[in-house]
Amino acid sequence: MQGTDVLYPTRPLECFSKMKELRRKVAWDTWNSRDNGRPLALSGEVGATAILGAFDAEVLPSMPTGREMRDLDWVVKLNEAAETKGYGRDCCATLRIALGAHFLGTFGLIPGKEERLVPDVVFSLALCQGQMKAHQSYADHMGISTVHIELPYSHPRPAELTDYFLSQCHDAIERLEKAFGRPCDDEKLIEGVRNEWRSRLAMARIAEAQKVVPAPLKLKNFISFVVFAWRGWNHRPEAADFYEMALAEVEERVREGIAGFGGEKVRLLHEGTLPWFSNQVLRYPEKYSGTYVASWTHFTNSGAFYQNDEGHWQVPPAPWERGLELKDRDSALRALAELYLPYLMNNFVMERPEHRLSLAQDWNIDGAVYALDRGCIGMVTVQLESVLLFKEAGIPVVSYEMCCTNPADFDEGYYQTSIDAFMDRWR
Amino acid sequence: MSSMYSGFHEAYEGRHDYARAYPGRGVLGYMCTYVPEEVAYAAGFLPVRIVGAHEPESVTAPHLFNMFCAYCRDMLAHGLTGKYDYLKGVVHVSCCEKIRNTYDSWLRHVPDTRGYYLFMPQYIWHRGAVAAFRQEMEHFRRSLEQDWSVSIGDAGLDRAIEVYNENRSLMRQVYDLMLEERPRILGEELMAMGLSSQVMDKVDHSRLVREFLAQVEGRSGDSVVRTMVIGQTDDLALAQLLESMGARVVVDENCFGLRYFWDQVTPGDDRLTAIATRYVERAPCPVKDPQEPRRRVPFVKDLAKRYGVALAVIIYPKFCDPHGYDSPVLTEALQGMGVEVLELEHDFTIPVGQFRTRIEATLEMLQLEVS
């Protein structure tokens, strides 16, 4: 199967130009936050940023950005800087980058200026222990406070601890009012929650569209879209509008049989995080007519799903589609709780193997590639149990080790050799 | 000093035989000390902490990624090879992700294991944390009642609280003796006491502690380098090594020791709330201390000051990220108060030769005599 035949028509995504324009706006708004009199939060990994939107706050991302990841030597230096201060390689690799940048004096540096942005507060919807511990370190070193909203995982009752979640949200608002020195605007909160729902539902439906053969997008296109979630922008109307626009284009591609990859013969699942400094990993199987079309990690990080009684993934209806009105702070926060407790499948740690398997079946996956990330404990938790379950189910699977932000922990040649051997079965 | 008390060592070494012969309803294993043991005990179960044996293993690689700590691998290896075949079930609370994987793998691959999982807030200072944990404990109580046709009422919980509190109180008496300028107790005994308390009925363990306290009465003390062990280790080899060089573990901040028993349950009308409060407010492990103001650092500093510590050994399993986040902060805080700090990472075993060199060098830096 060496070389690729063109089996399906392709065409560039029209929404990409809009996405690039918005990405510039995201960065611009962050860099100019102080000049614009906006509060600033270090945040962005998961969501609930509607709460920040209620204060007109901008987000300085704690996740590494493309600017940092482009320069491999620089990435290595950031890792080493964190390590020198005692934060070893077992600490969250993603967030260690920001710590490293802080120690090197470049974190929050505004391009073209000598000036650094110092956030007012660290804000996070906390999914994993490492995220909260890393944020604690940021807060220490920057001399600012943290506001966490912990996502409780009550197994097997995901919505059981809604009251705990809500009480944290209410407290977070009070603490942000103090940190930002301004009141929470409930109208903006309601709008932000509505937009977070819209963004996640649109992303879920884009993910659903990937079930079709040929898949309308390459997985790398899908992951590009996730940028607004990672930049803490899902609550903004521009982001929600963009995701709905992207969904409309993807649906049109499905109707017209337009493929993300024209040579699609082998549909692959890429599971786990990615080595963000390498842009060839997702493209590599294409030389064998294989293409990544799905990822539990990225679908659940960006979309809203639940597993129905028959074990299939399903996109939930929006609250307003069920007659629930977002009319005040409490109802908005309840809608937020619903979005992130029962419908953030990423948080269902012990169900992950079964969820991954049903995803592979529903999305017509031929084989799975697991990235075992040395720097992300949250993602590798029960990952090997997923590998075992795939093997039992007869789905070919291969794994490779890497670290999402540390080039020193990724051997791209080894990855390619593994994929060469893996794809041979479909020759 | 008279000869070392062997009761704790014998109890720990004989833990599997003891558990197999336990006359109650059976034995439930747990992997983290945030499990509210009192509830299981009130149901007639013996809760025991699952521990490994510090031996290399070859069975966990398909289940646990190779950057998971040896502590997890050691536990799971014992489950997969049938060392804990007497357990009626395994209870786990949310603590670190790696142990959650270990628990999940145990349930999937150790036959006939019934699992009980409780969410335990990481954000422990939040005003809703006690209520959230209580809610999870209520499910735990109901699950035990349903699965084992048992009733867990106030009387049973009261007795469990009393038994556990008495044991905690007795162990604190032992730690109080370590405040003496010339301690009469070996660190190895201290650690063995903590370990054995986690694998036996507290009634039996309290009897051993009383016996130990009586024996200590007749001892004379030694002049030693007062040392604190911080982090996580269940390997007595560390205390043995330190004490072979003139250092003495006078206090620890270890979930196999002080962190496990230091705090009592304050009885209240609602028993589950009382128990939940104790677990939420207890001396925190690094996972449960993620926000400012930090709780763990002042707690460790206070212990170091009260026990007159000259050397702090921060030890934790290789690949343990929660301890990895706290270690730089603890080091800075302790050095700031004039305590020498040595950070060690261990794998399945304590690398005695390598650690000896580092401990010797540290003691020399302290400009103290090495015996």
* CB contact (8 A) between residue B104 and residue A382: yes
Partners of residue A93 in chain B, C-beta under 8 Å: none
Report the percentage of chain B scoring pLDDT > 90.
89
* CB contact (8 A) between residue A161 and residue B119: yes
pLDDT band at B349 (very low <50, low <70, confident <90, very high): confident
**DSSP type of residue A284:** G
Q: Which of A140, A164, A355, A386 to mutate to test the interface with B (most CBs of B within 10 A)?
A: A164
Comparing CA positions, the residue from B303, B206, B321 lying closest to residue B258 is B303
* CB contact (8 A) between residue B328 and residue A133: no
> Which regions in chain A score pLDDT beneath 70?
1-3, 64-65
| Distance from the A181 Cα atom to the nearest Cα atom in chain B, whole angstroms | 19
Using the Cβ of B322 and the Cβ atoms of chain A, whether some distance falls under 8 Å is answered with yes
Segment B126-151 shows an average pLDDT of 97
More confident residue, B3 or A295: A295
Q: Which of B123, B287, B316, B344 to mutate to test the interface with A (most CBs of A within 10 A)?
A: B123
* Residue numbers of B between 99 and 128 with CB closer than 8 Å to A: 100-101, 104-105, 108, 117, 119, 121-123, 126-128
Partners of residue B96 in chain A, C-beta under 8 Å: 129, 377
Comparing CA positions, the residue from A253, A245, A208, A211 lying closest to residue A225 is A245
Percentages helix, strand, coil for chain A (3-state, rounded to 5) are 50, 10, 40
Which SS3 state, helix, strand or coil, does residue B356 take? Answer: helix
Among B100, B287, B324, the residue with its CB nearest the CB of A381 is: B100
Q: Which of A377, A387, A399, A410 to mutate to test the interface with B (most CBs of B within 10 A)?
A: A377
Partners of residue B139 in chain A, C-beta under 8 Å: 154, 157, 160
C-alpha distances in Å from residue A108, one per residue of A64, A114, A140, A404: 11, 10, 16, 21
Q: At what angle do helices B70-80 and B97-109 cross, to 10 degrees?
A: 10
Give the pLDDT score at A45: 76
Give the pLDDT score at A402: 94
Partners of residue B131 in chain A, C-beta under 8 Å: 163-164
Give the pLDDT score at B368: 58
Q: Which chain A residue has the Cα nearest residue B102?
A: A382
Please answer whether residues A305 and A314 qualify as being in contact, where contact means their C-beta atoms are separated by less than 8 angstroms.
yes
Specify the residue for token string 């949200």: A169
* CB contact (8 A) between residue A349 and residue B321: no
Partners of residue A170 in chain B, C-beta under 8 Å: none
| Distance from the A164 Cα atom to the nearest Cα atom in chain B, whole angstroms | 6
| Distance from the B166 Cα atom to the nearest Cα atom in chain A, whole angstroms | 32
* CB contact (8 A) between residue B290 and residue A136: yes
ipTM of the complex as predicted: 0.95
Among A157, A168, A349, the residue with its CB nearest the CB of B123 is: A168
**DSSP type of residue A292:** E
| Distance from the B158 Cα atom to the nearest Cα atom in chain A, whole angstroms | 27
C-alpha distances in Å from residue A239, one per residue of A53, A122, A245, B281: 13, 22, 10, 41
Q: Which of A354, A382, A388 to mutate to test the interface with B (most CBs of B within 10 A)?
A: A382
| pTM for this model (two decimals) | 0.95
pLDDT band at B367 (very low <50, low <70, confident <90, very high): low
Side-by-side strand order, sheet with A397-402: A290-294, A266-271, A367-373, A397-402
Which residue type does A66 have? G
Give the pLDDT score at A1: 41
| Distance from the A154 Cα atom to the nearest Cα atom in chain B, whole angstroms | 5
- Identify how many contiguous H helices and E strands chain B contains and give both numbers: 15, 8
Q: How many CB atoms are located within 10 Å of the residue A360 CB?
A: 25
Task: Tell me which H or E stretch contains A254.
Answer: helix A237-256
* CB contact (8 A) between residue A164 and residue B319: no
Partners of residue B101 in chain A, C-beta under 8 Å: 381-382, 385
Q: Which chain A residue has the Cα nearest residue B62?
A: A384
* CB contact (8 A) between residue B132 and residue A152: yes
* CB contact (8 A) between residue A136 and residue B291: yes
Side-by-side strand order, sheet with A121-126: A58-61, A40-43, A121-126, A145-150
Partners of residue B321 in chain A, C-beta under 8 Å: 90-92, 129-130, 133, 377
Q: At what angle do helices A129-142 and B321-336 cross, to 10 degrees?
A: 30
Please answer whether residues B303 and B190 qualify as being in contact, where contact means their C-beta atoms are separated by less than 8 angstroms.
no
Partners of residue A152 in chain B, C-beta under 8 Å: 119, 121, 132
* CB contact (8 A) between residue A164 and residue B128: yes
C-alpha distances in Å from residue A332, one per residue of A149, A153, A185, A241, B318: 15, 21, 12, 20, 44
Partners of residue A140 in chain B, C-beta under 8 Å: 292, 329
The b-or-e profile of B123-158 (16+ CB within 10 A means b, else e) is bbbbebbbbbbbbbbebbbebbeeebebebeeebbe
Taking the C-alpha atoms of residue B133 and residue B280, their distance in angstroms, rounded to an integer, is: 8
Please determine, for residue B359, whether its predicted confidence score (pLDDT) is greater than 80. yes
Please determine, for residue B371, whether its predicted confidence score (pLDDT) is greater than 60. no
| Distance from the A153 Cα atom to the nearest Cα atom in chain B, whole angstroms | 6
Taking the C-alpha atoms of residue B199 and residue B192, their distance in angstroms, rounded to an integer, is: 11
